[in-house]
A and B are shown apart, each in its own frame.
Chain A
């Protein structure tokens, strides 16, 4: 029974191969140099790696969520902290950044390097403003006398926002990397689908995916902390 399922698994869902045992070609892997000969797509590899990383980050937040939900059932949970209004603005900024980035990425697939560069810069800038906004929210709460140790809810608020902010900082670093890759592109470079440099595709796709994930993660944290 179990072994039959496994057999199916290997045939159907694992990235097996086409007729001669190679991985199927993945759009965007360039194909211009080396990789084709060994059947390895760096873009697909990077994408898999990133997804796996996102699974790990998700597990981290699942652990926090489970702790939070179980803690909330305790009788001494007490009052929730007030929602700092600036969080609404922060949320909008992060979502707009995500949207700008997505549009830039789509335009780039059609060959528009200029929009891509601008989009990366704008999204990164909005990310920076978001972080500043989160700091402002902490500051507002502190001025109102709400600290990390004030009550269980505030502890979770500071914990989750801090860990999310750390991941966002990493995302800003990734923006820096992607921008450095894109900077080398001639403005009139052809559409990526037909052959931009592999490292650019991997970087842009990777940053895009990660940034959307962080936006979604923030929405999740926001809802979890204040609306559940």
Chain B
């Protein structure tokens, strides 16, 4: 019913008040942009927290008088307290994973792109969509408020392992801060669920005429499968969060075993299982990793094809690998728990599934490389970031093979090797895909171009900065430095580590600083960028057939009709080197592709899967 409303509004819609149009809007594009701006704000906070971590690890024990005056609680006299350090670590992880990347990729890009790329006027449930966004700011307020409560923000890591997170007396951050963390996360999970519900329904029902599933751009495949993943995984984390809240506030003992003694004080709990939390958390947690990587994989594929002027290689293998990665992601959670005391046979089982998941990941990488073979690559900022994504995904994915093997992981579990791995494969890769997406779709979002010159500077600094920051962390991990320690200074085996830590910290500071090039470019281009054409990148997918920016309702009078797959680049006998999805099949098509349809009339969605493997 929402799409109908949206259509009706498309005709009579300019009378909306400022509030309805930009604040409490039900337009998917505005909601997507709201998600994106809010995520950017959170990214700055998450990045600042990372800088606190790096300041401490690079120069433990040093005082920073200026910071001391800004954060008298966490840095009395300018020296960071261990509790504040742990709060920074915890909040950096929580914010970056849930409040930046998940919200930006699914809430931001998902909202903006899904209706545009499938040829719909809006989401299936625009009101629910608005509700989804408006759960996000309250979640942020609750989360950030926890910095200012007694004991400070949660300090038990983003994984909030019980019983540390269940017992207020176990750590300062396990007080009210941890409760607020759980409440905030619960709010955000509901927002994600509303979003996922909307995305799945929209892709199911609102595809334009002729847009069969196998004509969908890979961006949509990534976002669609991600929505299914979120829908299945986030309720499990919600269940765990509710149970932990019961333990904390109601005195139940789901995760707290009997007979604990914190300090010298016995804990009054009846008996529960701390490993249960880990199982529930990672049952979400691992699919969550793919929530952060499947949309990037899709976006990258589209950006790569458009800038290589070449069809994406092995479209069907790409779809199949997205689907199989998603399916397998529910069977690998135990690889986070090899040393947890889980039965060793389970370790073997989880290793097997984990190494299997490397296969579809490798397929995707090789398909991207094959897409570049005999291409004609335009090195736009978006393309550079997309290529950077591939590099990070490969580097981080490869170290995953080390960590996937339990005997080796016994040594590396909870060391900086894991930190390096996850920051390449998940954090940096997803971040670069988001940058690529921003440079690529900014013209569609705001009707203006971003500065390519600044975009490239941003790329060079960020690409080098990320390798300089995270690559040496592998060595730190090999030396055996544990994660989440306030200082390595006490340990004999870490005596030689400090030069590396200083190097990493300096690189990280530079990396953080380089992001201001992006922020400047973004806001400057928002107002001063040159006006964008409808299709500045000469790309094939549907969103480029709408105005830049698209009006409310996206498509004017008539919905687009789709006649071909999303990757018709450099077809030999087409007039241009790209053919948009809306060009009827009677128009120039590649010779000898053996497709079963000649003209408009013969078009059936059933036959459309044939168009995915023309040529060859």
Contacts and interface: CB of A to CB of B under 8 A. Distances in A.
Interface of A: 2-3, 6-7, 9-11, 14-17, 19-23, 33-35, 38-42, 44-46, 48-49, 52-53, 55-57, 59-64, 66-67, 70-71, 74, 76, 148-152, 155, 158-159, 163, 198-199, 202
Given A67-B254, A155-B254, A17 B209 contact: yes
Given A23-B205, A55-B231, A16 B212 contact: yes
Given A148-B250, A149-B251, A163 B242 contact: yes
B197 interface: yes
B486 to A, nearest CB: 33
B254 A53 contact: no
24 contacts: A2-B323, A6-B316, A10-B606, A10-B609, A14-B204, A21-B605, A33-B4, A35-B4, A42-B1, A48-B124, A56-B193, A57-B235, A59-B236, A63-B283, A67-B254, A67-B276, A70-B273, A71-B272, A148-B246, A148-B250, A151-B270, A152-B271, A155-B254, A159-B243
B364 interface: no
B270 A152 contact: yes
A154 B112 CA distance: 46
B324 interface: yes
Chain A interface mostly helix, strand, loop or mixed? helix
Contacts of B238: 60, 63
A16 B213 CA distance: 8
B424 interface: no
A155 B246 contact: yes
A74 B273 CA distance: 9
Contacts of B515: none
A56 B194 CA distance: 10
B111 to A, nearest CB: 16
A159 B244 CA distance: 11
B429 interface: no
A56 to B, nearest CB: 5
Contact of B206 (A3, A11, A40, A61): A40
Contacts of B125: 45, 49
Contact of A52 (B200, B214, B234): B200
A21 B561 contact: yes
Nearest to A5: B320
A59 B1 contact: no
B381 interface: no
B236 A70 contact: no
Contacts of A61: 239
B90 to A, nearest CB: 23
B231 A52 contact: yes
Nearest to A41: B205
A45 B272 contact: no
A63 B1 contact: no
A52 B197 contact: yes
A203 to B, nearest CB: 10
Contacts of A149: 250-253, 270
A130 B17 CA distance: 43
Nearest to A38: B559
Contacts of A70: 273, 276
B239 A63 contact: yes
Contacts of A34: 4, 7-8
A172 to B, nearest CB: 18
B542 to A, nearest CB: 14
A20 B605 CA distance: 9
A2 B320 contact: yes
A112 to B, nearest CB: 24
Interface in B435-492: none
B252 A155 contact: yes
Given A40-B206, A155-B253, A6 B235 contact: no
Contact of A71 (B8, B240, B254): B254
B204 A19 contact: no
A222 B205 CA distance: 36
A106 B493 CA distance: 75
A39 B3 CA distance: 11
Contacts of B4: 33-35, 38, 40, 42
B324 A2 contact: yes
Contacts of A62: 236
A21 B603 contact: yes
B319 interface: yes
A218 B133 CA distance: 31
Contacts of B258: 76
Contact of B209 (A3, A39, A158): A39
B339 interface: no
A49 B209 contact: no
A16 B604 CA distance: 9
B236 A60 contact: yes
A158 to B, nearest CB: 7
Given A6-B323, A52-B200, A159-B243, A76 B209 contact: no
Interface in B1-16: 1-4, 7-8
Contact of B204 (A10, A48, A67, A148): A48
A214 B212 CA distance: 35
A39 B7 CA distance: 12
B239 A202 contact: no
B232 interface: yes
Contacts of A11: 605-606, 609
A150 B269 CA distance: 10
Interface in B109-150: 121, 124-125, 128
A62 to B, nearest CB: 8
A63 B240 contact: yes
Interface in B303-328: 316-317, 319-320, 323-324
A3 B276 CA distance: 37
Nearest to A48: B201
A159 to B, nearest CB: 6
B324 A19 contact: no
B370 to A, nearest CB: 16
A23 B246 CA distance: 46
Contacts of A35: 4
Given A2-B316, A49-B124, 4 more contacts: A7-B316, A10-B609, A62-B236, A155-B246
B402 interface: no
A36 to B, nearest CB: 10
B280 interface: yes
Interface string B596-616: 000000011110110000000
Contacts of A39: 209
A33 B604 CA distance: 26
Contacts of A6: 213-214, 316, 319-320, 323, 609
A218 to B, nearest CB: 17
Contacts of B8: 34
A45 to B, nearest CB: 5
B121 to A, nearest CB: 8
A198 B2 CA distance: 12
A40 B211 CA distance: 14
B239 A64 contact: yes
Contacts of B205: 15, 23, 40-41, 44-45, 48
Contacts of A14: 204, 212-213
B251 A63 contact: no
Given A10-B605, A60-B239, A63-B280, A49 B201 contact: yes
B253 A198 contact: no
A56 B242 contact: no
Contacts of B251: 148-149
B216 to A, nearest CB: 9
A41 to B, nearest CB: 7
